[in-house]
Structure 1
Amino acid sequence: MAIITLTTDFGLKDHFVGVLKGSIYTELPEATIVDISHGISPFNIQECAYILQNSYHNFPKGSIHIVGVDSEATPENKHIAVLVDGHYFVSANTGVIGLITSEMKPEKVVELNLPERIQGSFPVMSVFIRVACHIARGGTLEVVGKSFTDLKTLREFSPRMAEDGTKITGSVIYIDNYGNVVTNIRKSFFDSYGKDREFELHARSKKIKKIHSSYSGIVDFNGAADKQKNDGDLLALFNSSGYLELAIYRSNLDTVGGASTLLGLEYRDTIIIDFFN
C-alpha cells in the first residue's frame, strides 16, 4: 500500500488534521499516513512549495502527497493531480507543484473531475482524500480527471541576473524554525554566473564575502579558543537543498536570535550579490 503524506496550513489546534486521517483510515484501514507539515503559514504557497520540494523525494516512488494549502477550487485554481518523478501530488493549481515540474517534466497531469463531486468548504477531505485513496488502491488518473496542461509556476523562486553579469538579485522565500533565512538563489545559479569571482553579499546593512560549506565552517577550530567564532555570528552557506541561506551560528531565537530577527529580514525581502571582475 502506497504512503499518503499530508502537507497543510491547518495547524494542530483544530480538528482538521484528525478528520483527514480518520477519513483516510475509513476508506483504507491499512493506509500508512505521514505528516510532512501542518505548520505552513496560512495560504503561503511559496513556503509550502519549498517544504514539499525538499521532502517528497525522501519517500518511496509511488507515494501520494496531499497538499492542503489554499485548496479551494476557483476558475484560476483548478483541482489537479500530477504524476512527476514517480510521485503523485493532489492539490489545487496554485503553483505549489510548479517548483518540482520546473526541473523535470511531469509524466501526467489531470484536472480532477470526480463523479458525484461534493462542493464544500473542505475540499481536502471531500476531493483530495478520495483521489488519493483511489490512487493508493491502484486506480489511474484518467478515471478521476481529464488531461490538463496549464500548470502554474512560482515566479518568486527565480532570481535575476543583471545584463552585465555583475549582480544577482534574489529574495527571501522561507524562514525556518531557527530563524535561518533561505533565499531563492540556488548554488547552480550562483556558480554558473559567479565563475569563482570575488563577491559581496548584501543583506540589509550586513555584508558577507564568503560562503561556507557547513554551519560550523565559520569556526577556526585550529585557532585559540578565545578567538574562535562564537554563538551569534552571521554566516552564509548553501543548505542541504542547494539554496543560499543566511544563518546565525548555533542560533536560538530565545537567546542569540536568528538571522531573520537580527538582520530584520522577512519573506520576499531582497538579497543582492555583487560580483567583482
Structure 2
Amino acid sequence: MTPSGIITLTTDFGVADIYVGVMKGVILSINPQARIIDLTHDIAPQDFKGAGFALAAAYSYFPAGTVHVAVIDPGVGTSRRALLIQTYSHFFVGPDNGLFSFVLHSRDVQQVIELSNPAYFLPLQSTTFHGRDVFAPVAAHLSKGVPAGRMGRPVSDPVIASVAEPRFVDQRTLQGEVIHLDRFGNIITNIHKDVLDRFAQGDNFTVTIRKKKATRLVKNYAAGRDNELFCIIGSTGLLEVSMNKKSAAEYIGAQPGDGIILQKQS
C-alpha cells in the first residue's frame, strides 16, 4: 500500500494540555512532510468504544494509505500490547484494548502486528505516554513508506470487544442499543438504515428509550416540532433519536449501552 502521507489523531487528551502538540512534534520530526488531521481529542476519558465509533464513522473518508492513530489507553505501561493493523486501504495504530474492534470485525484486515521493534520508537519510552513514545513515531515511519512488517511480529489474538447487533425479536419488534451521544445530544443507535428499512417495510413505528417514546421519522432536524422527540437517519446512516434545538440525551437521561425497542404501530 502506498502511504498517503496523512496521519489522523483520535485521543481522549483534550486540548488544554501539551499531549496532542507533542505527538505532532514527534511525527513532524520524523516526517516533516506529514499532513496531520485532528479527528477528535474530545473522546470521554477511557472511552475506547466511543473512540471506536468515531473512527468507524470517519476513516473511510480519507485517502487510501492514511495512518489512523488512536490513543485511548488506560492500560498504558502495563502488559497490554501496542498494535498496528493493516487493512487493504488503511493503517491503524494504537493500544490493544478493543479500540479497533470495528476494523477487526471486518474482512479487510491484511495483518495485525504487535509493535515490538524499538528501532521505530523514541529512544526512551515512558510508562505513561505511549502516544508520544511509540504510536506517533510508528505512524510517522509508516507515512514515509516503512513496511508494516518491520515494526514487529504478527499476532492472531488481538482484543476484540463485543459489538452489539440489532435483534429481530419478532415481525413487529426490533431491539437495538445506544452506541453514542454527540455534543448536540443526539442519541445514535446501532440500527442502520438498511436494517430499519427491512424491519419497517414502509410501516410506522415507535421507538422507546428509558420509557420515552418517539413516533415520527423525519428527514432533517428542523422538521422536528417544539419539544418533540423524533427519529432521524443521521449522516452515519444510523438511526438517531433527537430533538429540535434541544438535547434528546439530556431529556431522556440516555447513556451508551441503553437498550432501545422499535415496535411497529398497529
Which residue in the other structure is 1:72 paired with?
A: 76
Corresponding residue SS for 2:60: helix
Over residues 166-201 of structure 1, what are the superposed CA-to-partner deviations in whole Å (9 max), with x where a residue is unaligned?
Answer: 422222211111111111222222233444444321
Query: Letter of the aligned partner of 1:115 in structure 2?
Result: P
Which residue in the other structure is 2:255 paired with?
A: 266
TM normalised by structure 1 equals 0.84
1:167 and 2:156 aligned: no
1:137 and 2:147 aligned: no
Separation of aligned partners in 2, 1:153 and 1:50: 14
Separation of aligned partners in 1, 2:202 and 2:208: 18
From 91, 96, 102, the equivalent of 2:94 is: 91
Separation of aligned partners in 2, 1:248 and 1:209: 12
Separation of aligned partners in 1, 2:160 and 2:182: 23
Which residue in the other structure is 1:202 paired with?
A: 208
| Aligned positions of 1:45-194 closer than 5 A | 45-70=48-73, 72=76, 74-75=78-79, 77-115=80-118, 118=125, 120-162=127-169, 164-194=170-200
Separation of aligned partners in 2, 1:233 and 1:275: 19
Change (3 A) 1:28 1:54: same
Corresponding residue SS for 1:55: helix
Which residue in the other structure is 1:224 paired with?
A: none
Separation of aligned partners in 2, 1:18 and 1:217: 41
Which residue in the other structure is 1:244 paired with?
A: 239
Separation of aligned partners in 2, 1:157 and 1:54: 16
Which residue in the other structure is 1:41 paired with?
A: 44
Over residues 12-55 of structure 1, what are the superposed CA-to-partner deviations in whole Å (9 max), with x where a residue is unaligned?
Answer: 11111111111112222222111000100001011101111111
Shift of 1:165: 4.0
Query: Letter of the aligned partner of 1:106 in structure 2?
Result: V
Contact 1:239 1:245 in 2 (8 A): yes
Shift of 1:115: 2.8
1:19 and 2:22 aligned: yes
Shift of 1:215: 2.1
Separation of aligned partners in 1, 2:194 and 2:155: 30
Contact 2:86 2:110 in 1 (8 A): yes
Which residue in the other structure is 1:222 paired with?
A: none
Contact 1:156 1:184 in 2 (8 A): no
Which residue in the other structure is 1:234 paired with?
A: 229
Over residues 238-264 of structure 1, what are the superposed CA-to-partner deviations in whole Å (9 max), with x where a residue is unaligned?
Answer: 111111101111x1xxxxx31011122
Q: CA RMSD in A?
A: 2.2
Shift of 1:119: 5.3
Corresponding residue SS for 2:217: coil
Percent of pairs with identical residues: 30
Shift of 1:105: 2.4
Corresponding residue SS for 1:99: helix
TM normalised by structure 2 equals 0.88
Shift of 1:92: 1.2
Shift of 1:57: 1.5
Separation of aligned partners in 2, 1:2 and 1:100: 21
Query: Letter of the aligned partner of 1:264 in structure 2?
Result: G
Change (3 A) 1:214 1:48: same
Separation of aligned partners in 1, 2:199 and 2:152: 42
Contact 2:176 2:189 in 1 (8 A): yes
Contact 1:46 1:156 in 2 (8 A): no
The total of aligned residue pairs comes to 258
